[in-house]
Amino acid sequence: MERDEMLRLYHQMALIRRLEEAAASLYQEGKIGGFLHLYIGQEAVGCGVVSARRPEDRVITAYRDHGIAIAAGMEARTVLAELLGKATGCSKGKGGSMHMADVSLNFWGGHAIVGAHLPLAAGLALADKYNKTTAATICLFGDGATNIGYFHEAMNLSVVWELPVLWVCENNQYGMGTSIERASAVPEIRQKAHGYGMPNARVDGMDIVQVRKATEAALKHVRTNGPFLLEAVTYRYRGHSMGDPERYRSHEEVTKWEKNDPIGIFHKYLIKNKHATEAELEQSANQAASEIQEAVRFAEESPDPAPEVLFSDVYVKEVG
Amino acid sequence: MPIITMREAISQALWEEMERDERVFILGEEVGVWGGTYAVTRGFYDHFGPERVRDTPIAEGTIVGAANGAAMAGLRPIAEMMTINFAFLAMDQIVNQAAKIHSMFGGQMTIPVVIRAVGGGGRQLGATHSHTPDVIFAHFPGLKVVSPGTPYDAKGLLKAAIRGDDPVLFIENATLYQAKGEVPIEDYIVPIGVSNIQRAGKDVTIVTYSKMLQVSLQAAELLAKEGIEAEVVDLRSLRPLDMQPVIRSFKKTNRAVIAEEGWRSYGIGAEVAVRVYEAALDYVDAPIRRVAQKEVPLPYNRHLEQLALPQVQDVVEAVKGVL
Ligand SMILES: Cc1ncc(C[n+]2csc(CCOP(=O)(O)OP(=O)(O)O)c2C)c(N)n1
Ligand SMILES: [Mg+2]
């Protein structure tokens, strides 16, 4: 990675962290409704994976999507506006936290039914293959999603049809309150690729440098040889969603992982290898904080969608 | 005008649209090498090749899901459910993805997908393989649900579905595949969401669609022999539902029977009857009657099965009941 790229990613990770903290406060204030799933702790995965793509590569993910949206190039203000349900949000206030997308950025959502976007990803990749482009589709999903039928159907189909899709499992070790040991027949998600004869890899998802490297290699494979399963081992620091009583894990366990903070790890790496100075990184982090402040203001000041749009976009052309 | 079967009409629509538009392709179980379980796509695989006539694993959720994804990316997939009974396994992709994605992302993505599914009872396939669940799917805004009763409508509606930008569930009735009718050689479409008077009459309005259209037309013939002129309205599309021709007819006849193959409870009969009452209460000369399937899982035994399914005689009696 070039130095500029590393600094850009450091900034992006800090931006996501601040954005999610701001979202948590807005939720506490009652300004965000519904479910809110924070990405804090997993930033290295989204930023590392998505930064490895070419512009023509598609990205699609589950409902824990704010960080992926930012990594895909969405502005923080657009994410926050959607969280507040505003007309200026990426989905015009109709999607909310779990349904962010920007097709112009080749970011295809934000999907809230566990596993349902895996076949969508297969279809996106099929379209690229059909049109004989060189694009790949990157599909991110959780460890819990690998226990649902959709996962297995999509793995199988992608191999049978040799689809250019990179399956990325963000293994944060829990699906809501159920640990991987209690829900998955095998302890490592990558093992599930074996049943489909699919090449696979497992990477430390707290280390963005490793994630990026692994993704580059995986994408190279995908473009020439078809699907690949990349497992990134990570951890979410906050509850599954807001208001999670977290009875399923100990405080010590969370603290242990917090010592392994992906932003901290990258920080140390940049300093140790003299890619950046402390002052530069501090400035980057401060800038992220003020960017988020500004974005929150934008979102709060944005208008609600007009009542007239209730019936728009149900069909492409309005029907009676 | 040539007279062809419903199967041929559907097959022609698919073939011509695939010739017309490179983005149109078919995926589903046994659609390719086999030629389609109901032989609708026979010859397609050899002509269009494996890229455009894609045999899939047995994975209904993922068949519709992959079709949805390909549609998001600009293709025009036609996903075939071997039968509509298996569409229950794809329910999530049909109602939660296809019907929602355009609206939920603020209009950014479109899902120009057609899901073809054959349904209906009467072939002794037992309870799991004999559903007419059309109304379940028609419940969801964002999805269009059409079900033709004639070869002409089948071809025209399917073409409209393929060319349109919304997701469409296209429901065929297996017992109609051999039904014959006039179909022009020239290209045409039948717009989705327009009900149609199939037979004119002044005494009573029969509202129906799909297989029950044919049953109702037979009933109307019998009634005519007794001097009762029934007007038969074919809904053709359950969502959007075009009530105008129904209301117009009812204001003339003041009596109506609604005939559907699915179960009565929460059915199309209930929906249409209430809409008639809402729009034309002053014109009601008799309570509207509904003809539908008996409320049991459809039995295998031929006699029992026919007993459960709505028959010509049921329509005749319902009509006499409102006169
Ligand atoms: C089909 C379906 N079943 C259940 C849920 C409720 N649910 C939402 S998130 C979740 C856990 C998913 O865990 P995982 O895939 O590991 O993702 P993570 O939340 O850890 O990012 C569940 C059960 C759902 N949204 N969809
Ligand atoms: Mg998880």
Strand blocks (E) in chain A: 58-62, 107-111, 137-142, 165-171, 174-175, 178-179, 200-204, 228-233
User: Tokens in use for B302?
Assistant: 């031929």
Of A258, A308, A303, the residue nearest A93 (C-alpha)? A303
Q: What domains lie within chain B, and their CATH numbers?
A: 3-182 (3.40.50.970), 196-322 (3.40.50.920)
Query: pLDDT at position A318, please?
Result: 76
DSSP β-ladder status, B204-208 and B256-263: parallel
**pLDDT tens digit at each of 323 positions of chain B:** 999 999 999 999 999 999 999 999 999 999 999 999 999 999 999 999 999 999 999 999 999 999 999 999 999 999 999 999 999 999 999 999 999 999 999 999 999 999 999 999 999 999 999 999 999 999 999 999 999 999 999 999 999 999 999 999 999 999 999 999 999 999 999 999 999 999 999 999 999 999 999 999 999 999 999 999 999 999 999 999 999 999 999 999 999 999 999 999 999 999 999 999 999 999 999 999 999 999 999 999 999 999 999 999 999 999 999 99
Set of chain B residues whose Cβ sits within 8 Å of the Cβ of A110: 105
Which residue of A95, A127, A153 is in closest CB contact with B104?
A: A95
Q: Does B19 touch chain A (CB under 8 A)?
A: no
Whether residues A312 and B59 touch (CB distance < 8 A) is answered with no
Give the span between the Cα atoms of B63 and B155, in whole angstroms: 23
| Active-site residue, from B60, B172, B231, B260 | B60
Task: Find the residue in A nearest to B140 (Cα).
Answer: A314
Q: Whose Cα sits closest to atom 6 in ligand 1?
A: A114
Atom of ligand 1 nearest to the CA of A143: 16
- Residue B261 known to be catalytic: no
- Which structure tokens are listed for B102? 């355009």
Angle subtended by helix axes B312-322 and B211-225, to nearest 10: 60
**Under-70 pLDDT residues of chain A:** 320
CB–CB contact B65 A116 (8 Å): yes
Closest CA to A242 of A36, A26, A14: A36
Say what the pLDDT of residue A90 is.
98
Please give the single-letter amino acid code of residue B112.
Answer: P
Structural domain boundaries in chain A: 3-256+277-301
pLDDT digits (tens, 9 = 90+) for B240-282: 999 999 999 999 999 999 999 999 999 999 999 999 999 999 9
Q: Which residues line ligand 1 (CB under 6 A)?
A: A 64, 112-114, 142-145, 172, 174-176, 240
CB-CB neighbors (< 8 A) of A85 in chain B:
none
User: Residue B103: which of A131, A157, A313 has the nearest Cβ?
Assistant: A313
Class of domain A3-256+277-301 (CATH, top level): alpha beta
Contact B135, B258 (CB under 8 A): no
Q: Is B227 on the interface with A (CB under 8 A)?
A: no
Residue identified by tokens 């027949």 is: A185
Buried/exposed B23-60: b ≥16 CB within 10 Å, e otherwise? bbbbbbbbbbeebbbbebbeebbeebeeebbbbbeebb
* pLDDT attached to residue B310: 98
Please say if B102 is a catalytic residue: no
Residues B66 and B27: beta-carbon distance below 8 Å: yes
Distance of CA B66 to the CA centre of its chain: 23
Q: Which residues pair with B204 in a beta bridge?
A: B230
Question: Residue B227, Cβ neighbours under 10 Å: how many?
Answer: 7
Mind telling me how many Å the CA of B264 is from chain A's nearest CA?
25
